[in-house]
A and B are shown apart, each in its own frame.
Chain A
Amino acid sequence: MSDIELAATPPTVTFAERLWPWALPIALLALLLGFATVDARMLGAANLLNIAQQTSYLALFAMAQTVVILTRGFDLSLGPTVSMVSVAAALVLTAAAGAGHGPVAVLLLGLLAGLAMGVAAGVFNGVVIALLGVSPFVATLGSYNVAIGIATTISGGRPVQGVPDLFATLLYRGTVLGVPAAIVIAGAVAVLLHLVLRRTVFGRSLYLVGTNARAALVAGLPVKRILALAYLLCSVLAALGALLMTARTGSGEPNLGGSLSLQAIAAAVVGGTSLAGGRGGVGTAILGALFVTILSNGMNFARIDGYVQMVVLGAIVILGVVLDRARLRAR
């Protein structure tokens, strides 16, 4: 037996084969350098920070999607949930500030209101998908519509202005050791989520359920609970991202998340998350978000027309996944 095993292992791994796992990061670097030849400011400290900050929002949403994509689903309602959270948080923040509460109370109320909206969306999706057994597409398409309706109704369709400056001071302009709040928070979430996925029963269960839900059930995993929790976690992460975005805009925007659902899925998938479930993680989400952000930042620097950018982005989504396939096959 043992001699066969030896024979079965490929004798030598060529340099090219060693490189495959790094295909996407290398492509990323090439992209960055390529654009830098067009405009050197692309690699300036200011723009690198700019890229990092832009990435942190998209990465948060891509991470949220990843949680449910791991279970073989996805969340179309993520974008509208972001809008709904933004508006709700802004309304509560302005109302609380108007009522003369102290800054801490105002902040807490606003954050709570936003997160509560996220929880509500997550519970809805979770219940409909896990308990009623509706496919994620239909369930989250339903909540997509519901969230749009709620966001425009409670805001009256207009931006909610007068959000206390404190909110932005803390969550947007605030820095920790010179690093902007959004990057710090997204980074912290990434580390935490990574630990959850790799080190907790819940994380492990996500992968197992996504790979073979039936087997997970037979082996005694609480599949419904895991699914419901996945959608809850997704919406809560989306809500967190929405709060950061609201701090970035300084107002509650009823259309803030308009096209984020598909963008976040695309970012996750480009990074190597598999829509067939059970494959991907925090790393793939961040990689994908970084890729998409650098690409559009670079194209902006290179002064490429908006519509051409759409075409390039579309091609890149497919290319990213093809690269990932090749990488898997090479392994």
Chain B
Amino acid sequence: MGMERAEIQARPGEAEPLLRLAGITKRFTGVRALDGVDLDVRAGELHVLFGENGAGKSTLINVVSGTFAPDEGSFHLNGEEIRHLTPQRARAIGISPVFQEFSLVPSLSVEENLFLGREVATGGVLRAAEMRRRARALIDELGFDLDPAARVEDLSRAHQQMAEIAKALLSPVKLLILDEPTASLTERETGRLFELIARLKAQGVGIIYVSHRMREIRALADRVTVLRDGRHIKTLDAADVGDGELVELMTGRRIDVLFPEILHKPEGIAVDAENLSTADGTVRGVDFHARAGEITGIAGLVGCGKSELVRAIYGLEPIAGGRVRLHGTPYEHPKPRASLRRGLAYFPANRVTEGLALSRPIRENASIAALDLRRFVRFGVLRPGAERRLVGSIMDTLKLRPAGIERAVGNLSGGNRQKVMLGRALTRDLSVFLFDEPSVGIDVGAKLEVYQFMKRLVEAGAAVIVVSSELPEVLALSNRLYVMHHGRIAAELSGAAKTEGNVLASFFDEEAPGRAA
């Protein structure tokens, strides 16, 4: 490590970087999230932070943006030493973060959020018209389809992401920080964002970028800093390094393939929907089926209703019309509990709000879906021994790190949280699995493990349905792929027709069958 530090400083003649961090250390109770990390970001450069879940990327970003005070280390911006940085001050000196978990207040409007903490006011009285004008101008300039008056909680996660990005760009930026900004954007918005990034770079803005998507890193990065377990491993020029090497640096081991080879053996129809519509109108007259022994993918633009479709089948969205069948038998009025009893499981996209009870132990979170089984329970009384054994062995199979099932889930990294949720699938007999954005926010290594998990399920004869905004993912995993558009099925692709081009065409196909309405 010392060598690399020397390497960075041994470039004479180079102008002082925009941001220079040296020896940053940050401890949380019991955890050393950052351990003497160095980082420099030049003006006009896009600098990728790369690392596994829990490597310390978000923590570093929080230090840079003034949310956390580092325990040790120095901080220079434009050669000037900065001490006691607060979020307010950071924004004032041109550091604008886009947070992974967002910094939006759900009950406020987009416009109110854009200006939060930086309101235009005279003597404590807001100047609403002025702020409205500036908000509109900004959103127009960015080319986002965002209504400044909409309440953030009514927006999809994708639109919230746009709001978060807009918020970061409200005032003049010197250093833009993007923590997984594309995790919930689809191709189109991602394209918009990349254009924007290019423009900002041209203006000399330095950018710190965090992503788990190799494609993006390839496309955007000037330099990459790899973090592992809170330590700075290496900083490289993106041009000089291959994916394999990056992943190896990150994980400390070799990972050759990202998507496993899956053997699909389609059998009988496990679940199907006929003319299904949800009460909120996000799904309209959908015909859909999924077979046992194959992965069925669902892709679509933001807000096309792909999540709602599977949520409706599981019983989380009220159904207004049509019917659902499980293994050929009608399934009326779905409810989560009944779905599980019939062998249908759903893994929500948002692990924090819908997936896990964060302050409870891993054991309880894993067995939660099986508390009606004799395996864990006799006459309402738990069998702690049986529970510990089974959950323990499941977590071993899923390679939960660190091992041990009594810690609170809230202490785990994103990937390991996902594993805890997936572990539920193995606590009871299930035949249909609905995955909503299964790889959002998890690192490459964990992704592979999740895909391998699906592979095992499918090859054991289960029906797996994957809803995803990450196109390469659904394309690679699914045997058959539905593309949704405005709440309807726009296309069903399989075999050779299942190409990125065809999917994108269906995304934007104005003549898609659903347009009549």
Listed in ascending order, the chain A residues whose CB lies under 8 Å from chain B are 1, 4-5, 7-10, 199-202, 204-205, 207-208, 211-212, 214-222, 278-279, 329, 331
Tell me if A279 and B359 are in contact (CB < 8 A). Answer: yes
Q: Which residues of B contact A207 (CB under 8 A)?
A: 357, 360, 364
User: For the complex, what is the distance from the CA of A279 to the CA of B357, rounded to whole Å?
Assistant: 12
User: For the complex, what is the distance from the CA of A10 to the CA of B31, rounded to whole Å?
Assistant: 8
**A interface footprint on B331-375 (CB within 8 Å = 1, 0 otherwise):** 000001101100000101000011111111000100011011000
Tell me if A204 and B364 are in contact (CB < 8 A). Answer: yes
User: Least Cβ distance of B40 to chain A in Å?
Assistant: 25
Q: Tell me which of B74-82, B281-289, B376-384, B455-463 binds A.
A: B376-384
> What are 22 contact pairs spanning A and B, CB under 8 A?
A5-B402, A10-B30, A200-B381, A200-B382, A201-B372, A201-B377, A201-B381, A201-B382, A205-B371, A207-B360, A208-B360, A211-B358, A212-B356, A214-B353, A218-B346, A218-B348, A218-B355, A219-B368, A219-B369, A220-B369, A278-B357, A278-B360
User: Least Cβ distance of A280 to chain B in Å?
Assistant: 12
- Given A199-B384, A200-B381, A218 and B30 contact (CB-CB distance below 8 Å): no
Q: Which residue of A lies closest to B379 (CB)?
A: A200
Q: Which residues of A contact B29 (CB under 8 A)?
A: 329, 331
Q: Which residues of B contact A205 (CB under 8 A)?
A: 371
- Given A8-B32, A215-B354, A218-B355, A202 and B380 contact (CB-CB distance below 8 Å): yes
- Given A200-B380, A218-B336, A1 and B229 contact (CB-CB distance below 8 Å): yes
B133 contacts the other chain (CB 8 A): no
User: For the complex, what is the distance from the CA of A219 to the CA of B337, rounded to whole Å?
Assistant: 7
User: For the complex, what is the distance from the CA of A49 to the CA of B372, rounded to whole Å?
Assistant: 43
User: Least Cβ distance of A20 to chain B in Å?
Assistant: 12
Tell me if B355 and A215 are in contact (CB < 8 A). Answer: yes
User: For the complex, what is the distance from the CA of A199 to the CA of B381, rounded to whole Å?
Assistant: 6
User: For the complex, what is the distance from the CA of A207 to the CA of B402, rounded to whole Å?
Assistant: 24
Q: Which residues of A contact B337 (CB under 8 A)?
A: 220-222
Tell me if B357 and A221 are in contact (CB < 8 A). Answer: no
Q: Which residue of A lies closest to B382 (CB)?
A: A199
- Given A205-B371, A207-B364, A211-B360, A220 and B336 contact (CB-CB distance below 8 Å): yes
User: Least Cβ distance of B307 to chain A in Å?
Assistant: 13
Instruction: Tell which of A9, A221, A329 has the most Cβ of chain B within 10 Å.
Output: A221
Q: Which residues of B contact A211 (CB under 8 A)?
A: 357-360
Tell me if A221 and B371 are in contact (CB < 8 A). Answer: yes
- Given A1-B402, A201-B377, A204-B371, A217 and B360 contact (CB-CB distance below 8 Å): no
Q: Which residues of A contact B340 (CB under 8 A)?
A: 220
User: For the complex, what is the distance from the CA of A9 to the CA of B424, rounded to whole Å?
Assistant: 29
User: For the complex, what is the distance from the CA of A271 to the CA of B495, rounded to whole Å?
Assistant: 63
Tell me if B368 and A221 are in contact (CB < 8 A). Answer: yes
Q: Which residue of A lies closest to B33 (CB)?
A: A8
- How many positions in chain B have a CB within 8 Å of any CB in the partner chain? 34
Q: Which residue of B lies closest to A225 (CB)?
A: B337
User: Least Cβ distance of A316 to chain B in Å?
Assistant: 26
Q: Which residues of A contact B380 (CB under 8 A)?
A: 200-202
User: Least Cβ distance of A290 to chain B in Å?
Assistant: 26
User: Least Cβ distance of A33 to chain B in Å?
Assistant: 32
- Given A205-B371, A208-B357, A219 and B336 contact (CB-CB distance below 8 Å): yes
Tell me if B359 and A216 are in contact (CB < 8 A). Answer: no
Q: Which residue of B lies closest to A279 (CB)?
A: B359
User: For the complex, what is the distance from the CA of A214 to the CA of B354, rounded to whole Å?
Assistant: 5
Which residues of B (360-418) have their CB < 8 Å from a CB of A?
Answer: 360, 364, 368-369, 371-372, 377, 380-382, 384, 401-402
Q: Which residue of A lies closest to B345 (CB)?
A: A220
Tell me if A217 and B359 are in contact (CB < 8 A). Answer: no
User: For the complex, what is the distance from the CA of A201 to the CA of B356, rounded to whole Å?
Assistant: 17
User: For the complex, what is the distance from the CA of A221 to the CA of B370, rounded to whole Å?
Assistant: 9
User: For the complex, what is the distance from the CA of A279 to the CA of B360, rounded to whole Å?
Assistant: 9
User: For the complex, what is the distance from the CA of A199 to the CA of B380, rounded to whole Å?
Assistant: 9
Tell me if B424 and A219 are in contact (CB < 8 A). Answer: yes
User: For the complex, what is the distance from the CA of A1 to the CA of B382, rounded to whole Å?
Assistant: 34
Q: Please tell me which one of the listed residues B30, B348, B372, B382 contacts residue A8 in the complex, with CB atoms under 8 A apart.
A: B30
User: Least Cβ distance of B120 to chain A in Å?
Assistant: 35
**A interface footprint on B30-51 (CB within 8 Å = 1, 0 otherwise):** 1110000000000000000000
B126 contacts the other chain (CB 8 A): no
Instruction: Tell which of A1, A7, A212, A219 has the most Cβ of chain B within 10 Å.
Output: A219
Tell me if B359 and A208 are in contact (CB < 8 A). Answer: no
User: For the complex, what is the distance from the CA of A202 to the CA of B424, rounded to whole Å?
Assistant: 19
Q: Which residues of B contact A279 (CB under 8 A)?
A: 359
Q: Please tell me which one of the listed residues A4, A201, A212 contacts residue B357 in the complex, with CB atoms under 8 A apart.
A: A212
User: For the complex, what is the distance from the CA of A300 to the CA of B103, rounded to whole Å?
Assistant: 52
B316 contacts the other chain (CB 8 A): yes
Tell me if B355 and A208 are in contact (CB < 8 A). Answer: no
Known: A200-B382, A204-B382, A215-B353. 8 other contacts (CB 8 A): A199-B382, A207-B357, A207-B360, A216-B357, A218-B316, A218-B355, A221-B368, A278-B360
Q: Which residue of B lies closest to A1 (CB)?
A: B401
User: For the complex, what is the distance from the CA of A331 to the CA of B358, rounded to whole Å?
Assistant: 17
Q: Which residues of B contact A214 (CB under 8 A)?
A: 353-354
Tell me if A208 and B368 are in contact (CB < 8 A). Answer: yes
User: For the complex, what is the distance from the CA of A200 to the CA of B382, rounded to whole Å?
Assistant: 5
User: For the complex, what is the distance from the CA of A220 to the CA of B372, rounded to whole Å?
Assistant: 10
- Given A205-B371, A220-B339, A9 and B357 contact (CB-CB distance below 8 Å): no
User: For the complex, what is the distance from the CA of A103 to the CA of B354, rounded to whole Å?
Assistant: 55
Q: Which residue of A lies closest to B314 (CB)?
A: A218
Tell me if B368 and A216 are in contact (CB < 8 A). Answer: yes
Q: Which residues of B contact A202 (CB under 8 A)?
A: 380
Q: Which residue of A lies closest to B27 (CB)?
A: A8
Tell me if A218 and B359 are in contact (CB < 8 A). Answer: no
User: Least Cβ distance of B9 to chain A in Å?
Assistant: 27
Q: Which residues of A contact B372 (CB under 8 A)?
A: 201, 220
Q: Which residues of B contact A200 (CB under 8 A)?
A: 380-382
- Given A212-B358, A214-B354, A201 and B371 contact (CB-CB distance below 8 Å): yes
User: Least Cβ distance of B470 to chain A in Å?
Assistant: 22
Q: Which residue of B lies closest to A274 (CB)?
A: B359
Q: Which residues of B contact A331 (CB under 8 A)?
A: 29
User: For the complex, what is the distance from the CA of A329 to the CA of B28, rounded to whole Å?
Assistant: 11
User: For the complex, what is the distance from the CA of A221 to the CA of B358, rounded to whole Å?
Assistant: 16
User: For the complex, what is the distance from the CA of A1 to the CA of B54, rounded to whole Å?
Assistant: 12
Q: Which residues of B contact A7 (CB under 8 A)?
A: 32
User: For the complex, what is the distance from the CA of A212 to the CA of B355, rounded to whole Å?
Assistant: 9
Q: Which residue of B lies closest to A10 (CB)?
A: B30
